[in-house]
């Protein structure tokens, strides 16, 4: 496995970027070679070590260095952690990805509470980043194509229903959506050809479900849309519950992790993303 290179960039390289470097190393294991730098390095704040020791995260080899020292190096990902640093991304224009996370400077407040808060926020942000970028296969479709697909109200309701039910038959969808079978089948075929759905035959029944290989960023978008629009398919859900003699598939539902949960963060640390 080729180790990707990631750089956290901030103004002083004394607090936010140092915490991000240590936390990413701890959570990502051998997935990334992690570094940090500052536009105007100020030295590592002692409270960084206090926080990392509390979380039992290795703080060895943390150094405050200038971003200019990495000017001629290639990074797969550069993540800026403050607005000032985001304006300096021209130093790394050949990077594969430039990302901006805006975090308040914890040094502006006395004591260590702001440092602990920043560390917790970074853990959640990094956990989500690793979840959505930890795959080795290329995405089936890109974000533009996905949102075009979701822009159709019928296709969106199909995806939301399958998000809830895991797998649904053509017959189920036709009845609860109250549209013709050919129309439902056309949309299902488009979603299948795009790689968003798989079909599964059991006798005369064909069920549609999300493939287990679906990129994590797509499953996260679909889950977010469903959870953020909880009432959109109420009537369809009621009609589904009222179906008599409904035949459910024999497919087993895979266990899914919540990327922002404490359980998932512990999972990342323990597994070190070696899959």
Cβ neighbour number for residue 81 with a 10 Å cutoff: 29
Active-site residue, from 33, 89, 128, 225: 89
Tell me the three state secondary structure of residue 77: strand
Has 82 been annotated as catalytic? yes
Q: How far from 157 is each of 207, 226, 234, CA to CA, in Å?
A: 16, 9, 10
> If you search the block for the tokens 């959870």, which residue do you land on?
227
Has 112 been annotated as catalytic? no
In angstroms and rounded to an integer, the radius of gyration of the C-alpha atoms of the chain is 23
Active-site residue, from 22, 82, 122, 159: 82
* Per-residue tokens: 31: 């997935």
Has 234 been annotated as catalytic? no
What gap in Å lies between CA 74 and CA 220, rounded to an integer?
Answer: 29
* Contact between 48 and 18 (Cβ < 8 Å): yes
Q: Which is it for strands 32-38 and 205-209: parallel, antiparallel or unpaired?
A: unpaired
Q: Which residues contact 111 (CB under 8 A, 6 or more apart)?
A: none
Active-site residue, from 9, 10, 191, 269: 10
Helix axes 153-165, 170-177, angle to 10 degrees: 120
Torsion of CA 217, 221, 226, 227, to 10 degrees: 80
Q: Which residues are catalytic?
A: 10, 82, 89
């Amino acid at each position: 496995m080729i180790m990707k290179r990631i750089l956290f960039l901030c103004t002083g390289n004394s607090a936010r970027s140092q915490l991000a470097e240590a936390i990413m190393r701890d959570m990502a294991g051998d997935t990334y070679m992690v570094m940090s730098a500052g536009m105007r390095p100020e030295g590592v704040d002692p409270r960084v070590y206090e926080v990392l020791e509390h979380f039992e995260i290795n703080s060895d080899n943390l150094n405050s260095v200038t971003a200019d020292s990495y000017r001629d190096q290639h990074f797969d990902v550069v993540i800026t952690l403050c607005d000032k640093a985001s304006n300096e991304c021209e130093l790394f224009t050949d990077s594969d990805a430039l990302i901006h996370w805006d975090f308040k400077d914890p040094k502006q407040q006395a004591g260590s509470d702001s440092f602990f808060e920043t560390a917790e926020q970074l853990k959640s942000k990094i956990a989500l980043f690793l979840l959505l970028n930890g795959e080795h296969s290329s995405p089936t479709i890109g974000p533009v194509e996905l949102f075009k697909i979701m822009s159709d109200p019928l296709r969106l309701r199909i995806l939301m229903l399958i998000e809830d039910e895991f797998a649904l038959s053509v017959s189920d969808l036709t009845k609860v959506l109250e549209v013709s079978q050919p129309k439902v089948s056309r949309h299902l075929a488009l979603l299948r050809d795009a790689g968003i759905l798989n079909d599964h035959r059991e006798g005369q029944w064909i069920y549609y479900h999300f493939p287990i290989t679906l990129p994590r960023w797509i499953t996260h978008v679909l889950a977010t849309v469903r959870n953020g629009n909880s009432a959109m398919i109420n009537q369809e859900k009621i009609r589904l519950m009222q179906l008599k003699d409904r035949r459910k598939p024999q497919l087993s539902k895979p266990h899914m992790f919540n990327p922002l949960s404490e359980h998932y963060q512990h999972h990342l640390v323990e597994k070190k993303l070696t899959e």
